[in-house]
Structure 1
Amino acid sequence: MTPTIAQRPGVAVAGSIVQRQPLLFRRLWIDQPTLVLVEAGYKVLHGAAGTFRVEAGQAVALAGGQAFDVTNYLGAAPAYRARWLAWERGLLEQWRAPAGARPRPVVPLGAVVPAFAEAFTALTQALDDPALPDAVVGHRALEMLVWLEGAGSLLLAETQLAPRVRRLLAGDPAREWRSPEVAAQFAMSEASLRRHLAAEDSSLSEILLDVRMSTALTLLQSTAQPVTRIAGEVGYQSPSQFAVRFRRRFGCSPTDIRRDHPRGGASVKMAGIANSVVRPC
């Protein structure tokens, strides 16, 4: 499987990941409601909602606006492989959860049936097919939400400001965002913006840096773009400065993400999960 990303603006974005060494990614933000289907190896997520292990052939649904420590393990496979899907705001506004349904931040779906995987594949292909109109692609994206609804998965509404700011900045991570224009987007003053974000233990500069690094990680995992191009796409003209910021955020270099074998590792233990040699990242 070749790492890829396919997107239909206003509908969804989907991608695949191939990782040939185990890496630990700390405090990864899930900005949009996301579905992950593991195909080889296994994934461990640890966050406020608990610790979840997703085996090959299983899927998990994650509400947007939350962070996890994520480790992708190879297990007995030569590489960790997974596919992911994130629904965009425009599509979600067309979907309504059943009356009386209770939101859940994480929903392990267990082993998926073949029809589920086939619907996932059909949507991914549709996202990248210019011959298909948005309405058709949208129906296929809604179909995946129906699958999750049937499994009891619901998506949380955003109640805090920081996730909404993240979503705004993620639309153009290379842009030099300034507090006056961001505050104006939310019809508030700069002082109110700073105060609200501080109350959520955040700041505009912290959010922008994390958005840039998280976007870079996605591009490193799910595309074959050169590191220098990815640096530019997240606002860094200097690849060396980008590498320094990336290592500071994740604990490893951008090239480590695509390395076939680890350069040594560290034994880590996450919330009762058995020790395994994992390179912190």
Structure 2
Amino acid sequence: MKRFIISREGVGLSATVIQKRELYLSRVATDLPTLVFVKKGIKSLKQNGLELDIKSGEAVAIAGNQAFDVINRPDHGEFEAAWIAFHPNVIRNYKPNIPDLKDIDPAFIFPNITSGFSDAFRLAAESITTDKLISDQVAIHRATEILIWLGEYGRKFKVSSPENISMKVRSFLIANPARDWSAVEIANLLEMSEATLRRRLSSELSSFSEILIDVRMSLALALLQSTDRTIGEIAREAGYDSASRFAVRFRDRFGHSPTMLRREANRDRNGTILDRVRT
């Protein structure tokens, strides 16, 4: 069976990442609050002096709107991790019963994973990936159970909202990375002039073109690691008619060619097609 990134509207996305050898990837973006369960190997996350190692059998919760340098280290020739990215409405509608939970910022490793948590993760992922008849209410309930488990560890995902112009621009682009976006169009959506948009992005040490490329490359990386779609299909999904131009952009961004990433994820998984979750 082919592997895919699976999405369920109102619940979230889920997939499995597989690599055959160690690779270093810089500034890997996590736009939605995400939980990663490492099944084989070690995942290392680095950000501004913070270094986290998530070992086999451990999980890490990553806040939304984060970027980490990532190293996936295989054990006996293979790294494998499953992840769930939560739809914003699941986070917003969850009302913790435990007071004074700490926001996850930027990430939190679960110590001493219990079988109950493992079962909850499996059911939450299944509610997204299964073709069984599971109602939206049940699927949301299962995803929310993961948030309750976070509370048992004294943590919660914070309700995210775009805090700056760069994040607001990114939220529009994520909805349709392949679209032929222009700075003028984004400025109109934000009800400001193009000059004002560019000036405010510059004050945040960013630019429209940089954000667009990063959104497209982040999507391409996820598709290469977690699906069996061809490189040509992924290039078009990321907004590139030319596979060669896409390959150059990808290598510039991550330091590895799309072909190399594809070789490192050569095993079938069950799944269905990717749909984006708008934030």
Structure 2-normalised TM-score? 0.86
Distance 1:66 1:216, change over 3 A: same
Whether 1:241 and 2:240 are equivalent positions in the alignment is no
Moved more, 126-135 or 213-222: 126-135
Name the structure 2 match of 1:13: 13
Name the structure 1 match of 2:78: 79
Distance in 2 between the 1:4 and 1:80 partners?
A: 17
Distance in 2 between the 1:183 and 1:9 partners?
A: 28
Conserved 8 A contact 1:4-1:222: yes
Distance 1:83 1:49, change over 3 A: farther
Distance in 2 between the 1:90 and 1:58 partners?
A: 26
Distance 1:196 1:96, change over 3 A: farther
Conserved 8 A contact 1:37-1:58: yes
2:68 partner SS: strand
Distance in 1 between the 2:179 and 2:238 partners?
A: 8
Distance in 2 between the 1:231 and 1:53 partners?
A: 31
Structure of higher RCO (CA pairs closer than 8 Å, 6+ residues apart)? 2
How far 1:4 sits from its partner (Å)?
3.6
Distance in 1 between the 2:126 and 2:101 partners?
A: 31
Name the structure 1 match of 2:211: 207
Aligned AA (2:13): V
Conserved 8 A contact 2:31-2:66: yes
Name the structure 1 match of 2:256: 252
Unaligned runs of 5+ in 1: 262-281
Moved more, 155-164 or 116-125: 155-164
Structure 1-normalised TM-score? 0.86
Name the structure 2 match of 1:24: 24
Query: Any residues of structure 2 matched to 1:125-274 within 5 Å, and which?
Result: 125-129=126-130, 131-156=133-158, 157-158=160-161, 159-260=163-264
How far 1:61 sits from its partner (Å)?
0.6
Distance 1:184 1:135, change over 3 A: farther
Aligned AA (2:108): V
Unaligned runs of 5+ in 2: 266-279
Distance 1:251 1:146, change over 3 A: same
Conserved 8 A contact 2:101-2:155: no
Whether 1:52 and 2:26 are equivalent positions in the alignment is no
How far 1:201 sits from its partner (Å)?
1.2
- Deviation string 1:210-249 (CA, Å, 9 cap, x unpaired) is 0101100000000011111111111111111111111111
